[in-house]
Amino acid sequence: MQDLRKSMALHDHDRERIENARSSSLANVHSGITRRSLLRAAVIGSGLALAGIRPAHTADQPAVHLPFERGYRPLVAFPQKRPLMLMTIRPPQLETPFHLFNDRIFTPNDAFFVRWHLANIPTTVDPATFRLRVHGHVERSLTLSLADLRTQFEEVELAAVCQCAGNSRGFFEPRVPGGQWGHGAMGNARWTGVRLRDILDRAGVKPGAVQVRFDGLDRPVAEGTPDFRKSLNVEDVMNEHVLLAYAMNGEPLPLLNGFPLRLVVPGWYATYWVKMLNDIEVLNTADEGFWMTHAYRLPADPCRCIEPGQRPARTVPIGRMPVRSFITNLDRGARIPSGKPFVVKGIAFDQGYGIDRVLFSTDGGTHWQRATLGHDYGDFSFRQWKARFVPKTGHTYALQCLAINRIGESQRFSARWNPGGYLRHAVETVQVEAM
Amino acid sequence: MLHATNHRIGRFVLWATLSVSSFAHVAMAEPPNTPVSIVLPSDRMGFQPGPGREVAAGFCTICHSADYIYMQPPHAPETWEEIVRKMQRAFGCPIPDDRISTLVAYLVSQNTVQPIPALTHTDSPPSSRHSGNMNMAQGKVIYETYCRNCHGSTGKGDGPIGRALVPRAADLTATVKSDAELLHIIQGGKPGTAMPAWKGELSSDDMRAVLTYIRSLARK
């Protein structure tokens, strides 16, 4: 059982380890997925050699340096994952290298970010014996197998962005404690599953129901740690969009993304997208649990912000995602050719109204031009955009993009601060130089 | 690819992506009905030397790896204390009040360090040459510093932390594991449990010594 573990770190024993993985992979395979990830480890290893990167302990370790203090993130392959930016080992938190958002509108499963709160993550899940329990303030409790979900309810597919509440926390000024993500704690996928509403209708939600609480198979390590459970108001889940997904991008979820079943709450931050979902409880009072009352909270002020360093008197749970956009084909400090049109590409998304337009500026927001939007994959999906300009030799450009959704909400020009480091949606600047 | 700073990475990942995509993917027509298993990397003891390291190693790594600390921006002592208190009160960290100032001072001392996670130590197994009574005293000191909080002073897995773990800390007096197996766990940790990898913290001789002491507990 050593092999996957051994292939995680790309250091100096890499090739030996990959050989180990190859030679003993059959003995360790529990599913096709696992086998594939072993193959990937092997492929990536030879890729290293071909690309001429010398694996070593430190300086040459494939890594991304996020542009803030302590932003070194080695690229490490976890099971069923390609090498991703390692933020923490246990519980695992992995960030998607940002340029991958330029390659495809749907983030590949093996590149999708990973974030767990509790270290007791089941490392074996049997879909044949897995059961989803629905109980609480309902007419009849249900116990459903995955086969029940697939055969007794209508299957739905929907494209939606899953974004961590703390995405981009590392860019907060002043800095705040918490997971120090760059912009890559998000992803866009086609989610396949059944509507939560249909399940709840089958159970029969009783009058007086207030919230629905979701729990997954993950558990705390220490006795005193509150189990990770999240709740949503009944009126926010009884719609056609909230899904129990058993597939993303046409394949089973990677275990680290919540195999075999994950709550999908389009437009809402990922904290509500409970992974390995096996328990749904309808409540007739508001959830008083730690993860609702003490974590993932924003200042109650309408701006959801506060003066840096201050403490909000009142807080509210985080909810839907404000509109955001990014440039995806240029990193800061990039040098671009001059004298001919250059195409800048990017993505935009919001909480589900859909993107109306994206504006693009080359001079830090003084002048704006309208970008061309790409194919519309649905109101909850990334929307690609592109814009052209002709760079002049020797000039430096402060590139910005600004998205506006269909109800006229736009990004902010300056970032607002809150102590949790949530909800960043300011206009980002990418400085480039024309050669 | 116009990622100036990540140029090599970009090329590497792009290459890997293209290659991987040539593998056939399983269609979703047939949902998986066999168990899916993964092996997560074990926690590597990444806390760097300094006064108070044993407190961080003993308590913080119950629930999370050391990189949770090393990714943080530098925090003021008051902020670190607030974080530690939150771990104690909200998350049930069994750290006693009288160890908190030591831990906070250690965390402050680590503010400007960024060790390379998981890559600082080799995997060569500890040598088993130096066994014997000579190691017993050394092993006892190591055991009481690093192991006792979980495994208990008698080794039965009933230390103040060990009792609170899920699964509980192992009863070392009842183990049927060989020396090699135990050394392997001490060195690399045990996935799915709170047992971290000690290879970054303890030398091969240290691990060998503590094993000698652990074996003596079973005979008591």
- Burial class for A148, CB neighbours closer than 10 Å (0-12, 13-18, 19+): middle
Contacts of residue A14, Cβ cutoff 8 Å, sequence gap at least 6: A7, A45, A48, A55
Domain assignments of chain A as residue spans, ordered by start: 131-295, 324-434
Closest CB from A36, A78, A290 relative to B23: A36
Instruction: Tell me the per-residue pLDDT of A170-205, one tens digit each, with 9 for 90 and over.
Output: 999 999 999 999 999 999 999 999 999 999 999 999
Contact A403, A427 (CB under 8 A): no
DSSP characters for B153-194? TTSSS-STTGGGBSSPPP-TTS----HHHHHHHHHH--TTSS
Question: What are the start-end ranges of the E strands in A101-179?
Answer: 114-115, 124-125, 131-136, 142-145, 155-163
Question: If you search the block for the tokens 């955001």, which residue do you land on?
Answer: A324
* pLDDT score for B116: 67
Instruction: Mark yes or no for CB contact B63/A150 under 8 Å.
Output: no
Please indicate whether, in this complex, the C-beta atoms of B119 and A61 are within 8 angstroms of each other: yes
Structure tokens belonging to residue A77: 């392959």
Q: Are A145 and A131 in contact (CB under 8 A)?
A: yes
- Of A382, A383, A357, the closest CA to residue A371 belongs to A357
Q: Do A30 and B75 touch (CB under 8 A)?
A: no
pLDDT tens-digit profile of B114-147? 776 544 333 444 343 444 456 788 888 888 888 8
Q: Which two tokens stand for residue A395?
A: 């000039």
The class of domain A324-434 in CATH terms is mainly beta
Distance CA(B203)–CA(B196), nearest Å, equals: 15
Q: What crossing angle do the helices spanning B134-142 and B204-219 adopt, rounded to 10°?
A: 90
What span, in angstroms and rounded, lies between the C-alpha atoms of A155 and B135? 64
Min distance A128 CA to chain B CA atoms (Å): 5
Determine the pLDDT at residue A269: 98
Tell me which of B21, B25, B40, B80 to substitute to probe the interface with A (most A C-beta atoms closer than 10 Å): B40
| Closest to A344 (Cα-Cα) out of A376, A403, A384, A394 | A384
The C-alpha atoms of residue A226 and residue A222 are separated, in whole angstroms, by 9
Mean pLDDT of A405-422: 96
- Least CB–CB distance from B16: residue in A44, A79, A91: A44
**Tokens linked to B103:** 């831990």
Of A44, A79, A125, the CB nearest to B39: A79
B211 CA: distance to closest CA in chain A (Å) = 22
**Model pLDDT for residues A121-173, shown as the tens digit of each residue:** 999 999 999 999 999 999 999 999 999 999 999 999 999 999 999 999 999 99
Distance, C-alpha A320 to centroid of its chain: 14
The encoded tokens of residue A283 equal: 């409540």
Could you read off the pLDDT of B70-114 as tens digits, one per residue? 999 999 999 999 999 999 999 999 999 999 999 999 999 999 887
Looking at residue A341, what is its pLDDT?
98
Distance CA(A360)–CA(A372), nearest Å, equals 10
Q: Token pair for residue B121?
A: 């130590």
Count of A–B CB contacts within 8 Å? 260
Q: How far apart are CA A73 and CA A59, in angstroms?
A: 12
More confident residue, A263 or B54: A263
Indicate which of A6, A69, A88, A150 best probes the interface with B, i.e. most B CBs within 10 Å of its own CB: A88
Distance CA B27, CA A250 (A): 7
Looking at beta carbons, which residues of chain A come within 8 Å of B79? 177
Does the pLDDT value for residue A423 go beyond 90? Answer: yes
Question: pLDDT grade, residue B196 (50/70/90)?
Answer: confident
Looking at residue A250, its pLDDT comes to 97
The rounded distance, in Å, linking the Cα atoms of B215 and A132 is: 45
Q: Identify from A24, A29, A57, A90 which residue to disrupt to test chain B contact, counting B C-beta atoms within 10 A and taking the largest count.
A: A90
pLDDT number for residue A98: 97
Q: Work out the minimum CA distance from A322 to partner chain B, whole angstroms.
A: 26
d(CA A234, CA A201): 12
pTM, 2 dp = 0.81
A86 touches chain B (CB under 8 A): yes
- The answer to whether residue B207 scores a pLDDT higher than 50 is yes
Percent of chain B's residues with pLDDT above 70: 75
The minimum CA-CA distance between B78 and chain A, rounded to whole Å, is 12
Mean model confidence pLDDT for chain A: 88
Tokens of A120: 């007791």
What's the distance, CA A68 to chain centroid? 20
Interval A86-98 mean pLDDT? 95
pLDDT at res. A11: 33
Single out the residue of A370, A380, A371, A368 nearest to residue A413, CA to CA: A368
| CB–CB contact B31 A128 (8 Å) | no
Question: pLDDT confidence of A91, banded at 50, 70, 90?
Answer: very high
Q: How far apart are CA A395 and CA A434, in angstroms?
A: 6
Res. A217: pLDDT tops 70? yes
Q: What pLDDT does B33 receive?
A: 83
Residue type at A359? L
Note whether A304 and A407 are within 8 A (CB). no
Topology of A131-295 in CATH?
Sulfite Oxidase; Chain A, domain 2 (3.90.420)
Q: Does A64 touch chain B (CB under 8 A)?
A: yes
Which residues on chain A are in Cβ contact (under 8 Å) with B166? 120, 219-223
Q: Which residues contact A16 (CB under 8 A, 6 or more apart)?
A: none
Contacts of A70 in chain B (CB under 8 A): 70-73, 114
Tell whether the model's pLDDT for residue A4 goes beyond 60: no
Q: Which one-letter DSSP state was computed for residue B18?
A: H
Lowest-confidence segment of A109-123, A409-423, B28-42 by average pLDDT: B28-42
Over range A237-266, report the average pLDDT: 98
Choose the closest CB to A180 out of B20, B72, B93.
Answer: B72
Contact A10, A83 (CB under 8 A): yes
In eight-state DSSP terms, residue A310 is: -
Q: Is A58 in contact with B119 (Cβ distance < 8 A)?
A: yes
Chain B residues with beta carbon closer than 8 angstroms to that of A2 = 39
Show residues of chain B in contact with A16, CB under 8 Å.
none
Contact A385, A371 (CB under 8 A): yes
The Cα A418–Cα A299 span in angstroms is: 7
Q: For tokens 């999708």, name the residue.
A: A112
Contacts of B134 (CB under 8 A, 6+ apart): none
- A 284-303 residues inside an 8 A Cβ radius of B: 290, 294
What is the Cα–Cα distance from A10 to A83, expressed in whole angstroms?
9
Q: Is B17 helix (H, G, I), strand (E, B) or coil?
A: helix
Give A 394-413 residues with CB within 8 A of chain B. none
> Which of A215-219, A337-341, A431-435, B182-186 has the lowest average pLDDT?
B182-186
Residue holding tokens 């008197």? A313
**Do residues A109 and A64 touch, judged by C-beta distance below 8 A?**
no
pLDDT of residue A58: 44
Indicate if the pLDDT at residue B68 is higher than 70. yes
3-state helix, strand, coil split of chain B in percent (to 5) is 45, 0, 50
Nearest residue, CB atoms, A246 vs list B31, B70, B79: B31
Give per-residue pLDDT as tens, B11-48.
333 333 333 333 334 445 467 789 999 988 866 658 88
Closest residue by Cα to residue A96 from A267, B36, A106: A106
- Concatenated DSSP letters of A240-256: SS-EEEEEETTEEPPGG
Whole-Å CA distances, A61 to A54, A64, A387, B66: 8, 9, 35, 19
Smallest CA–CA distance, residue A64 to chain B, in Å, is 7
C-alpha triplet B124, B125, B126: angle, nearest 5°: 115
Angstrom distance (rounded) from CA A256 to CA A113: 9
CA-based nearest distance B155→chain A, Å: 19
- How large is the average pLDDT for residues A218-230? 94
pLDDT computed for residue B202 by the predictor: 81
Dump pLDDT digits (tens) for A39-83. 333 222 222 222 222 223 344 678 999 999 999 999 999 999 999
The answer to whether A123 contacts B79, with C-beta atoms less than 8 Å apart, is no
